[in-house]
Structure 1
């Protein structure tokens, strides 16, 4: 019989810290974007590509990392991912030209591809089916906090130097790596890993994508893409938009994102379980998409600091509730293929994180309002896709 979450607090805390640190790196670059643009004379398009480079590497590595999680064990992949992340942040902090910045972000993307499926599969191993939704909610809160609070931390630490946020991230990544080596224990034996690996067909990236088109997973994966696209597009241009339109300082931007992330995560922890029970996963996802689309449009109409803060708080909350609903659905549907599904979850997240920042950067150079309006359109399309969601298939899968 598996131990309860309460009995595994230390292990769960280490796992949540690991995934928090990995996603912290995605957002750290956001508040210093205007400064990098000025120092290196870069366009919005280039900055968008710089953010997208992280996700490109994550996309290409995720399916392979998902299989390695099932073959070599969760702990090894998590530790390797944390080490690579620390190296990538250190390189970024020392970089003096754009090419090195790209190398750093690519290495960071590879590290995220290792950590995300490793942690998700590890949590699935140590939790019962009854407690898994709660545990996945915690993972989602850690991801959201890392991704959203990254710019906040980056903005505050940047007061001591534009490169300090990256040295800070490298330090905590190496600490997390060391603590994981001594505290985490592999949950599956070599025989169990060999059995899972043997039962999983050896396929390439293209065939993995084809498998993800199975009706059981596909709609959920598309919404994963929409979530990642909307949040990354919104966040990528947020500091640039605030700097160009309102003249906000990095500290102002950091304050908005930090307050919004705290609000979103607290509300998520206390509201998610109750909302799923009352509405069900499908209706909750639809409500979040509607809210996100409306607030993305509202972002182009507001002007005061308090209005920006309020809209940002609620749009992040919508994303924070949407993510665990999807993660829980996919975990339940995965059965014994936790590594594969977690890897493909990471793949579709990466696709959204590639297209979102790239499109946002291009559109920003045309009109600073266009990235938000385009994100709203994507979320409305995602809402339409959820109408085709056949929940009966999930029930049949679980009954087998």
Structure 2
């Protein structure tokens, strides 16, 4: 099939214009899909309660999405290196749109959990493979700029989605929010169908998942993703709890705090991606970790909206500094093991972390109190920082 505007299906033969068109179409696709996710995620707990869900049931609904992604992402990523990327993304977007409409007739917690699980499978065919596309076209030495700019699509979609979801639900109803999610995914599907070329990644010997997990080039990104999962799990799951009971924030104010953090990360991605290409990537990751640890440790003492907005900015800045550097390291390793395999593995780790971290932090909350959750997460982030600093020549020479 001849694609509109794309002159070659081989990334090595694609022109700068081809690269821009590919980048833009993927950006629109991921942004549209993430906007759809952002629209409904804040509404799911309320929807689940109308179906009689307990606290455990709500947790099961959210965890099923992350669980299916964790199981399937590394396999879809590796297969896209062999069979081509386009078919996976188009199939994933089509299935995601269909599953979005199935929320409307869902009549039980089990049905909703199954739908979320299937949507997780569909999304696993889109996001890591889209990132593998970008890794394919990123010139050596510009991985940070390309991946940083691209990942802003995820954060922008998740940042604006809750506002749109609340607005749609207020003027219409929750069913219309689900229809919007399906419609936005449909936009992404059309964009991908028209403009995405189909090519395989660099032909390499397939690496097992175990060897990917212990690969020297992925060890630091994997450590970062596990740490980042604890930080983000604490932020997304437990911030609304402490903000309401300790910080005296309204639900609307809590939503503003979350959106500010996500959007500030998005707006920093391109700039900090360029920094990742110019400066030591491990130093940037460590700097971001320290910023996030400080933010988490300060939360229990905060009260009022202004204090929480400071926290949101610190969290957003920390992620904005560190994420492009981490993904640049993954893209560099992807040239050896396959971009799909590398991106699938690293996103699998994040999903696993997002399953584990709320449960671990929930235990601390039950036994010690809500404030302990933030101290524990801050400690986990902080104790990983020296590992990243050990890869910085300045600190290595000092240790010697």
Q: Say whether the fold is shared (TM-score over 0.5).
A: yes
Q: Within 2, Cα distance between the matches of 1:303 and 1:276? A: 39
Which residue is 1:92 aligned to? 103
Q: Tell me how large the CA RMSD over aligned residues is.
A: 2.9
Give the aligned partner of residue 266 of structure 1.
Answer: 267
Aligned position for 1:76: 87
Gap change, CA 1:10 and 1:275, over 3 Å in 2 = closer
Q: Does 1:52 align with 2:67?
A: no
**250-259 or 52-61, which deviates more:** 250-259
Match of 1:180 among 172, 184, 192: 192
Q: SS where residue 196 of structure 1 aligns?
A: coil
Alpha-carbon distance, 1:314 to partner: 1.9
Q: CA deviation at 1:93?
A: 4.2
Inter-CA distance 217–246: structure 2 relative to 1 (3 Å threshold):
closer
Tell me the distance in 1 between the aligned counterparts of 2:124 and 2:357. 18
Higher relative contact order (CA 8 A, sep 6+): 1
Tell me whether 1:255 sits opposite 2:256 in the alignment.
Answer: yes
Query: Could you tell me which residue of structure 2 aligns to residue 112 of structure 1?
Result: 123
CA contact (8 A) 1:122 1:187 kept: no
The alpha carbon displacement at 1:276 in A equals 5.5
List alignment gaps of at least 5 residues for structure 1.
202-206, 392-400
> CA 1:297/1:164 → structure 2, altered by over 3 Å: closer, same or farther?
farther
- Report the secondary structure of 2:126's partner residue: helix
2:206 to 200, 209, 214: 200
The separation in 2 between residues aligned to 1:39 and 1:244, in whole angstroms, is: 24
Q: Which residue of 2 aligns with 1:166?
A: 178
| TM-score normalized with structure 1 length | 0.83
TM (norm. structure 2) is 0.83
Contact 2:269-2:321 within 8 A present in 1 as well: yes
DSSP-derived class of the 2:300 partner = coil
1-side partners of 2:178 and 2:313: how far apart? 25
Once the two structures are TM-superposed, the CA of residue 322 in structure 1 deviates from its matched residue by 1.6
Cα distance between partner residues in 2 of 1:299 and 1:227: 17
Match status 1:359 vs 2:365? no
Shift of 1:235: 1.0
**In the TM superposition, what is the alpha-carbon distance from 1:371 to its structure 2 partner?**
3.2
Q: Distance in 2 between matches of 1:358 and 1:21?
A: 30
Count of residue correspondences: 379
Using the TM superposition, give the Cα deviation of residue 78 of structure 1 relative to its aligned residue in structure 2, in angstroms.
0.8
Alignment of 1:282-293 (within 5 A): 282-293=282-293
CA gap 1:156/1:323 in 2 versus in 1, 3 angstroms:
farther
- Residue matched to 2:231: 230
Q: CA 1:181–1:7 in 2, change beyond 3 Å: closer, same or farther? A: closer
